[in-house]
Amino acid sequence: MRNMLSGLPVFLLFFAVLNLYAGFHGFLFVRAIKEKTALNFPLWLYFPLFLLAAVLYGYIKTGGTIRGMFGLADAYWGLAIFFPFLVIIDFITIIIKIIKLFNQKLPSFFSGPGFSVTLHLGVIILAGIVIFYGLFNARHARITEYEIAIEKKLPKKEVSVILVSDIHIGAMVHKKLLGRMADKINSLKGDIILIAGDIIDRDMKVFDNEKLGEEFSRLKAPYGVWAVPGNHEYFGGDLERLGEALKASGITLLEDESALAGGAFNIIGRSDLSVSRRGITRKTLGELTGALDTGIPVIVLDHQPRELGEAESAGVDIQLSGHTHHGQIWPGPIITGRMYENDYGLIYKGKTAIIVTSGFGTWGPPLRIGTIAEIVRITLREQ
């Protein structure tokens, strides 16, 4: 808690600088329009109106709650994608100034307010196109396919495992989108459905108000529907209530425990690594697999793809994780690729297959640029 508070002034300063930078460009844009069109607008009113509009939008959008306004601000941090485009404006402006320093003549258009208006409008349109694509891409999940051969007996020739993670029910994921997710999962006719954490984003408010248990209860599979908590389940302190709601919907939430799914699969669900912040030490995979019949396939659900060697050492057949979002917004994939041994896709550690999904939902901005929203279908075959 102390570390969070000590970092707060730095965060607020950074946030203020970014907003001032964006606001300043807006000011230049309005001033250029005024000079070009003789708009009768007192420029000193710009910044107060800019701030008032932002606050009013947040107040109305969140139903007039302060907590909701903070949640909305969190959800829209991705609008920082505009900043690279603002940098483009500054870069072009600096190039023009350098050219002028060397006494090179440019058409008068590059010196007047019309150029500033055109430049800002062009960049705004370009950024708008990119953001529209990101919004569309985030709300249209794709099906990603993997095939894994294991050296253990399966209940039938091919077994279809459906994996979904990082739904992040909250400010941006509501009943309609969750219903589409359930429809798409059911259309795959999986033998078992696994949910790898971060089901809710902050708390159970949206889940309760929109009766989202109805959508989860539509998920059906012969070997059951199983889930684990992610780090976000611990944020609002609603993990126990979520477990009860999922149970009522026919979904079993596993916390550092194992279960035998239809006599065909050992399903191990791990508590998220963030549980250590509550002073709880989660069990090792060795402890969780110790009493299992390992002649039956062992599938581990672990939200964060850390300590991957542990799964190999414990003789796990498959580990399924999420959390990374594959960076969500480029250049995020470059960052997550350096942070995790496997930030996305399928790798093998010895005979252990490890799949990390980019997830169904989004954290923060409802955008995906350079990554995809996905539901994963894994086809298991005997080797």
Query: Tens of pLDDT along 304-320?
Result: 999 999 999 999 999 99
Pairing of strands 265-269, 298-301: parallel
**Dihedral angle computed from the Cα positions of residues 304, 182, 171 and 13, in that order, rounded to the nearest 10 degrees:** 30
What is the rounded average pLDDT for all residues in the chain?
A: 85
**Same domain flag for 87 and 156:** no
SS3 313: helix
Token representation of residue 333: 């994939």
**Same domain flag for 231 and 365:** yes
**Same domain flag for 114 and 262:** no
317 touches 351 (CB < 8 A): yes
Q: Which DSSP helix (H) or strand (E) runs through 261? A: strand 257-261
154 is a domain residue = yes
The pTM assigned to this predicted structure is 0.81
**Same domain flag for 8 and 152:** no
Residue whose pair of structure tokens reads 């250590």 in the numeric block:
276
In sequence order, the 6+-apart residues with CB closer than 8 A to the CB of 74 are: 171, 364
SS3 265: strand
The 8-class DSSP code of residue 290 comes to: T
Query: Tens of pLDDT along 166-176?
Result: 999 986 789 99
Q: How many domains does the chain have?
A: 2
Q: Which one of 89, 111, 136 terminates a domain? A: 136
117 is a domain residue = yes
Q: Which DSSP helix (H) or strand (E) runs through 146? A: strand 142-150
Is 268 or 122 the better-scoring residue by pLDDT? 268
Is 197 or 7 the better-scoring residue by pLDDT? 197
**Same domain flag for 80 and 210:** no
- Residue-level pLDDT at 64: 52
Q: Which DSSP helix (H) or strand (E) runs through 161? A: strand 158-164
Q: Comparing C-alpha atoms, which of 97, 92, 145, 164 is closest to residue 123? A: 92
Rg (C-alpha) for the chain, rounded Å, is 25
**pLDDT at 5 > cutoff 50:** no
354 is a domain residue = yes
**Same domain flag for 114 and 223:** no
223 touches 264 (CB < 8 A): yes
118 is a domain residue = yes
Say how many CA atoms lie within 13 Å of 287 toward its Cβ: 8
Q: Which residues pair with 354 in a beta bridge?
A: 319, 347
Among the listed ranges 82-86, 131-135, 254-258, 350-354, which one has the minimum average pLDDT value?
82-86
> What is the domain extent for residue 7?
2-41+76-136
46 is a domain residue = no
Residue whose pair of structure tokens reads 């107040």 in the numeric block:
59
Query: Tens of pLDDT along 211-235?
Result: 999 999 999 999 999 999 999 998 7
Q: Calculate the alpha carbon distances from 148 to 92, 268, 324, 348, 372 in Å.
A: 51, 18, 22, 10, 22
Query: Tens of pLDDT along 181-211?
Result: 999 999 999 999 999 999 999 889 999 999 9
- Residue-level pLDDT at 224: 98
CA-CA distance, 303 to 301, in Å (whole number)?
A: 6
**Same domain flag for 102 and 192:** no
- Residue-level pLDDT at 322: 98
CA-CA distance, 255 to 30, in Å (whole number)?
A: 55
Q: Tell me the backbone φ, ψ of residue 142, rounded to 5 degrees.
A: -105, 165
**Same domain flag for 334 and 218:** yes
Is 144 or 102 the better-scoring residue by pLDDT? 144
